[in-house]
Amino acid sequence: MFRNLVQNTLAMSSKRQFHASAVCCKVQAGRYKITQKRDRALTYEMANPPHYIAHRKSWNSWDTSTLYEGLRAAETAAEDVFIRRFVTGTWHNMFASEVIIKRQHNIIRIAGLVVQSVPARKMYFLTGYCEELLSNWLQCPVKMEIQIIPKREDAIFKYI
């Protein structure tokens, strides 16, 4: 019985073959697919692929939280998610671009393009409201750097 099992295993292993295909060096992560009608609108931040971060998007990648060792990376990621959700909830349907978070030493700067859909008085209130609450919650100075555009279509960089 054992001998038949060993012979069958050896017979099957001799039939197995190793198959390898050519390595594909095509990187698809972080890129948007082209639509058939080319009607998907992309902003400037979305149009640049991730490998251009050091060249075209360097002002968006200022992050000094990794200078010190420890568990700060996990805290930074959780804070960034909280900041993005708080800002998009406070400025409901007004951000025409992504919420950009810049960390430099002890200061967190939040940037983006905002559509002029409310009076200027309300814009100033929302800016101060976000800065004050986030500064208290995160225990560091927070600055909002927003640029106002008249309509959402002005933020479109290209269509794919």
- How many domains is the chain partitioned into structurally? 1
For residue 26, is it within any domain? no
* pLDDT tens readout for residues 57-94: 666 655 555 556 556 777 888 888 899 999 999 998 88
For residue 19, is it within any domain? no
Gap between the Cα atoms of 146 and 31, Å rounded: 26
Q: What confidence tier does 3 reach under pLDDT thresholds 50, 70, 90?
A: low
Give the pLDDT mean for 12-27: 62
Q: Give alpha helix (H) positions in the chain.
A: 2-15, 44-47, 72-90, 120-138
- DSSP structural state of residue 34: P
Range of the domain at 139: 32-159
| CA distances from residue 52 to 41, 47, 104, 139 in whole angstroms, order as listed | 19, 10, 21, 32
Model-wide pTM > 0.75:
no
Gap between the Cα atoms of 29 and 155, Å rounded: 23
- DSSP structural state of residue 102: E
